[in-house]
Amino acid sequence: MHFENTRSFARQLDQQDPLRAFREKFHIPEQNGKPLIYFCGNSLGLQPKSVREHLDRELAIWQQHGVEGWFEGGDNAWYTIHRRCKEPLAQIVGAQPSEVCPMNNLTVNMHLMLTSFYRPTAQRYQILTIGGDFPSDQYALETHLRSRGIDPAEALVEVSPQAGEYTWRMEDILAAIDEEGERLALVMMSGLHYYTGQVFDMEAIAQKAQAQGARCGFDLAHAVGNIPLQLHHWGVDFAFWCSYKYLNSGPGGVSGIFVHQKHHTGNLPRLAGWWGYEQERRFDMTKGFVPMAGADGWQLSTPTVLAMAVHEAAVALTAEAGMEALRQKSRLLTGYLEFVLRASGLPLEIMTPADPEARGCQLSLLVRPGGKQLFENLTSAGVIGDWREPDCIRLAPTPLYNTFEEVWKVGEIIVRFVNDETLV
Determine if the peptide bond prior to 390 is cis (ω within 30°).
yes
Determine if the peptide bond prior to 369 is cis (ω within 30°).
yes
Of 294, 298, 292, which is closest to residue 270 (Cα–Cα)? 298
Residue 424 has pLDDT above 60, yes or no: no
pLDDT level of residue 421 (50, 70, 90 thresholds):
low
Query: Which residues constitute the domain of residue 371?
Result: 7-35+322-419
303 and 354 housed in the same domain:
no
CATH number, domain of 403, equals 3.90.1150.10
147 and 26 housed in the same domain:
no
Q: What percent of the chain has pLDDT over 90?
A: 92
pLDDT at 369: 80
pLDDT at 366: 94
203 and 180 housed in the same domain:
yes
User: How many angstroms separate the first and last alpha carbons of the chain?
Assistant: 33
Q: Using one digit for the tens of pLDDT, what is the confidence trace for 229-241?
A: 999 999 999 999 9
Residue 119 has pLDDT above 60, yes or no: yes
Residue 423 has pLDDT above 80, yes or no: no
pLDDT at 267: 83
Q: Using one digit for the tens of pLDDT, what is the confidence trace for 145-185?
A: 999 999 999 999 999 999 999 999 999 999 999 999 999 99
Taking CA atoms, 117 is separated from 67, 181, 187, 202, in Å, by 36, 17, 10, 17
Residue 422 has pLDDT above 60, yes or no: no
Residue 392 has pLDDT above 80, yes or no: yes
170 and 157 housed in the same domain:
yes
Q: Using one digit for the tens of pLDDT, what is the confidence trace for 8-40?
A: 999 999 999 999 999 999 999 999 999 999 999
Residue 401 lies in a domain: yes
Whole-structure pTM over 0.85, yes or no? yes
pLDDT at 353: 97
Residue 92 lies in a domain: yes
| Mean pLDDT of the 317-339 span | 98
What value does the mean pLDDT of the chain take? 96
